[in-house]
Amino acid sequence: MIPRSLFSEEHELFRSAVQKFAEKEVHPNLARWEEQEDTGTDIWKKCGEYGFLCPTISEEYGGAGADKLYSMILLEELGPLGGLGLSMAMHSDIVARYIQTYGSSYLKSKYLPEMASGERIGALAMSEPGAGSDVKKVRTRAVKQGDNYVLNGSKIFITNGFHSGVVVVVAQTNKDLGAKGISLFLVDSDMDGFEKGKKLKKVGLRAQDTAELFFNDVIVPAENLLGVENQGFIHCMQDLPWERLQIGLMAISCAEYALNLTKNYVSERALFGKHVSDFQNTRFKMAELTSEVQIGRVFIDRCMELELKGELDGETASMAKYWCSDLQCKVADECVQLHGGYGFMQEYEIARAWTDARAQKIYGGTNEIMKDIIANSIFGRRK
C-alpha cells in the first residue's frame, strides 16, 4: 500500500487512542445499540472525556484547536462502526463549526464548551418533507418581530435530531428571494414550541439517531441568528466541500473495513475441501476491490491536502463524495457475495456494512446532484 504522508507521529498516537477507545467502548455495544436503534447519550460524554469531540474548535471554547486531520482520523476509525463517526462529524465538524464561524461570542461561550464535553449534542436541520437537496424550496419560516424571530416549520431526516441539545436551523427569512432569502438560526432544545418527533426507523445506520423536528411559534432571540440575515445559503455553501469530503473519506474507510472483514472470512471459511480464499474468483475479486479502494484512498488523501491548504473546490469535493460512496456500496455488495448466505445474516458485521453503506449516496446531496455540479464545471450551467 502507498504510505500516507499526511500524518505526523502525534496524529498516529491520536489514532491509536481512538482505536483503543473503539475496542473498549464501541465494539462491545454495537449490537445493543442497533437493537435499541440508539446509542444513548453516555457514549457522547465518554467521547467528550477522551477529547474526541470538537477537535478543531479553539481551546478558548473547549476544543483542542487541532487541524482537520484529527477529524479525519476520527471518521476513519469510527465511521465504519454503526454511524457513530457520522454523528460525531455532524456534531463537531458541521454544527460546532457553524457556531464558531458565524456565532457571536455569547453563543460560542454558551454552547461550544458543552458540545466539546458531550453534554449537548448538535444537529443541522436543513431537509424538509418537501425540500431535500433543493434549498430554494425550504418552507420553514422565521419572521422578525422586534428583538426576536418567530420560527415555524418542520424538518425531516435530521442526524442527531432525537438527542439534539442545540440545532442549526435553515429557515426562510425572505420568501421572494428564494435561496438568497435563507438564514441560519441557533435553536436551543429548551425553547418553547420546539418539538422532537419519533426516531425514524432506517434500513441501515440503525444505531444512529435520526428524527423529525417541529418548530411551532418558537421565539428565537435575534442574537441567535448565525452570520448575516438572508446569507444562510452562502454560509452553507462555503463549508460544503469539507462536508462532502467527510462523506468521501468515511466511504473509503468503510470500504477498507468491509474488505478486511471479508479477507478474514474467506481465509477461514472452507468449501469443497479448501478455503474460499483459494478459489481464483475470490482472489481476483479481492485484488480488484483492493486496487479500487487504494485508488480512492490516494484521491481522498490528495483532497485532504487541498482542504488543509484551503484549496478544495466544490467540484473536486463532489467527485470525492459521489465516486467514493458509489465505490463503498459496490465493495460492500461484493463482500456480502463472498460471504455467501452468512453475508445476509444480521449477526455478521458485513451485513451491517452493506446496509449502512446505502445512505452515503443520498445524504450530503445525492450523487446525481454531485454529477450535476461536476458537469457544470465542464460545460457551464444549463440554461
User: At which of 177, 201, 230 does a domain end?
Assistant: 230
Average pLDDT of span 80-89: 91
Q: Is the pLDDT of residue 359 over 90?
A: yes
> In this structure, are residues 172 and 193 in contact, taking their beta carbons and an 8 Å threshold?
no
Number of domains in the chain: 3
Q: What is the CATH number of the domain that holds 75?
A: 1.10.540.10
Average pLDDT, the chain: 95
In a domain, 91, yes or no: yes
**Claim to verify: residue 224 and residue 165 sit in the same structural domain:** yes
Q: What is the CATH number of the domain that holds 150?
A: 2.40.110.10
Q: What is the CATH number of the domain that holds 241?
A: 1.20.140.10
**Claim to verify: residue 329 and residue 242 sit in the same structural domain:** yes
User: At which of 209, 230, 251 does a domain end?
Assistant: 230
**Claim to verify: residue 241 and residue 373 sit in the same structural domain:** yes
Give the domain extent around 150. Answer: 124-230
Which active-site residues does the annotation give? Answer: 243
Q: Which of 83-87, 91-95, 180-184, 220-224 has the lowest mean pLDDT?
A: 83-87
**Claim to verify: residue 42 and residue 72 sit in the same structural domain:** yes
In a domain, 3, yes or no: no
In a domain, 261, yes or no: yes
CA distance 336 to 340: 7
**Claim to verify: residue 36 and residue 149 sit in the same structural domain:** no
User: At which of 121, 144, 163 does a domain end?
Assistant: 121
Whole-prediction pTM value? 0.94
> What pLDDT score does 133 carry?
63
Q: Is the pLDDT of residue 276 over 70?
A: yes
**Claim to verify: residue 244 and residue 357 sit in the same structural domain:** yes
pLDDT band at 300 (very low <50, low <70, confident <90, very high): very high
**Claim to verify: residue 353 and residue 250 sit in the same structural domain:** yes
223-250 confidence digits (pLDDT tens) = 999 999 999 999 999 989 999 999 999 9
In a domain, 4, yes or no: no
